Amino acid sequence: MLRLETRPAPSRLFVAASPLIALAATVAIGVLLFVLLGKDPVQGLRMFFWEPIKNAYAWSEIGIKATPLILIALGLALCFRANVWNIGAEGQYILGAVFAGGIAMHATPDSPRAIVIVILVAGIVGGMLWAAITALLRDRFNANEILVSLMLVYVAEMVLSYLVYGPWKDPAGYNFPQTVTFANPTKVPRLFDGLRVNIGLVIALAAVAGMTVFLFRLFRGFQALVGGQASAAARYAGFSSRTALWTALLTSGGLAGLAGAIEATGPLGQLTAYVPVGYGFAAIIVAFVGRLNPIGIVFSAVLMSMFYIGGELAQSRMQLPKSITGVFQGLLLFSLLAADTLIHYRLRWKARRLAGAAA
């Protein structure tokens, strides 16, 4: 029978190969799903793996989606490495958008261009404050950060909903739950004429470089590593896991807030009740599939963006529900976790031994 045998050391090969195995498994299940639904699987695969990358316009759209995913996943990678289970990035993202929107909605066409910087900083502050609640309750009262950060997502949705249905509603907006359209100086500058992708992508890639240095070169990154992976050893070495907790949550909150600010003043241009689209949750998958590694996160964010765009195309061209994106994203993480077993174990065929020795 098939048995798992502990490897003497984790396999470097499978650390890198496991996301590819997971992708292959997801594609295989996807093909099966298309066949079961009576759709052409070749056309289905094209929607997800060719159409989203076939030209510059398509790549620009990938960039738009990958920007928030990269930013949020970078913060989550730090959290998960520090063993801080922040799963409420969606809430921190919403608060970032709210803080940014709060300033952007007061801008006029004559506002200085530098207001963009103020707006983005406001977004970072909003996300940090929201994450700080989780950090404080964890630090002071030992409250489980998984549940607190998640509950705060629902609360954040209500904060946004209150504002856009109430005090921030555009008086000339035919009663739609939305703010005024932000004035032009607030817009995050675009990178190329005619393409929507904006400078947020450059910021995200700079954050990738920053996080790489932070995680692997600077003392603090090391501290976050030991604080999470071996708390006793960390304490012995004199590092406090409290510092790791606060650093991880404030950093990831700030990055998620920045993502929200870029989204609000970039592609959206106003706040609506539909700001939250699940990037905060999808980024959890991005972080894991990217091996909690900043460079890996770039690749997995591109893949996840292809899933988003593929889902939209499958809806308009193949009459499939858009939620097929969520199915594939969930399957990818599931397959990844299963494939990760091969990092620590190897599969061995073994003849069933005598009953007594089998255990």
Partner 1 sequence: MNELALLIAATLNAGTVLAIAALGLLINERAGVVNLGAEGLMLVAAVVGYAAAVHSGSDLVAFGAGALAGALLAAVFGALVIWLNTNQYATGLALSLFGVGFSAFIGQPYTRERLGQRAQFDIPMLSEIPFIGPALFKQHPMVWVAIALTIFLMWWLNKSRSGLILRAIGESPESAHALGYPVRWIRLAAVVAGGALCGIAGAYLSTVYTPLWVEGMTAGRGWIALALTTFATWRPIRVLLGAYLFGGVTMLQFHLQGTGVEVPSQVLVALPYVATIVVLVLISRNAAWIKANMPASLGKPFAPGG
Euclidean distance between CA atoms 315 and 292, whole angstroms: 31
CB of 123 to partner 1, least distance (A): 21
Would you give the binding string for partner 1 spanning residues 177-216, x where CB under 8 A is met? ----------------------------------------
Region from 60-68, 101-109, 252-260, 325-333 binding partner 1, contact rule CB under 8 A? 325-333
Pick between residue 114 and residue 354 the one whose CB is nearest to partner 1: 354
Phi-psi category of residue 11: left, alpha or beta, with phi > 0 → left and psi -120 to 50 → alpha = beta
Asked if residues 188 and 198 have their Cβ atoms less than 8 Å apart, the reply is yes
Inter-helix orientation angle 56-81/200-216, to 10°: 30
Q: Which of 73, 116, 119, 150 binds partner 1 (CB under 8 A)?
A: 150
Region from 49-57, 187-195, 197-205, 329-337 binding partner 1, contact rule CB under 8 A? 329-337
Region from 70-78, 116-124, 201-209, 326-334 binding partner 1, contact rule CB under 8 A? 326-334
Q: How far is CA 73 from CA 78, 300, 336, in A?
A: 9, 10, 16
Does 161 bind partner 1 (CB under 8 A)? Our answer is yes
Q: Which of 235, 344, 348, 350 binds partner 1 (CB under 8 A)?
A: 344
Name the residue with tokens 């991005």.
286
Asked if residues 19 and 289 have their Cβ atoms less than 8 Å apart, the reply is yes
CB of 199 to partner 1, least distance (A): 30
Q: Which of 195, 251, 191 is nearest to 220 (CA)?
A: 251
Pick between residue 41 and residue 330 the one whose CB is nearest to partner 1: 330
Q: Which of 82, 131, 152, 201 binds partner 1 (CB under 8 A)?
A: 152
Does 158 bind partner 1 (CB under 8 A)? Our answer is yes
Other CB atoms within 10 Å distance of the CB of residue 54: 10
- Residue 355 has which token pair? 């009953």
Euclidean distance between CA atoms 289 and 25, whole angstroms: 13
Phi-psi category of residue 292: left, alpha or beta, with phi > 0 → left and psi -120 to 50 → alpha = left
Does 230 bind partner 1 (CB under 8 A)? Our answer is no
- Residue 105 has which token pair? 């909605």
Pick between residue 100 and residue 324 the one whose CB is nearest to partner 1: 324
Q: Which of 147, 191, 202, 277 binds partner 1 (CB under 8 A)?
A: 147
Residues 38-97 that bind partner 1 (CB under 8 A): 85, 87
Does 318 bind partner 1 (CB under 8 A)? Our answer is no
Euclidean distance between CA atoms 227 and 116, whole angstroms: 36
Euclidean distance between CA atoms 223 and 231, whole angstroms: 10
Binding residue count for partner 1, defined by CB under 8 A? 47
Does 143 bind partner 1 (CB under 8 A)? Our answer is yes
- Residue 257 has which token pair? 């807030």
Residues 239-298 that bind partner 1 (CB under 8 A): 281-282, 284-285, 288
Euclidean distance between CA atoms 90 and 102, whole angstroms: 18
Task: Identify any residues that bridge with 4 across adjacent strands, giving them in sequence order.
Answer: 347
Residue ranges binding partner 1 (CB under 8 A): 4, 6, 85, 87, 137, 141-144, 146-148, 150-152, 154-155, 158-159, 161-162, 165-166, 281-282, 284-285, 288, 321, 323-331, 333-334, 337-338, 340-341, 344-345, 359
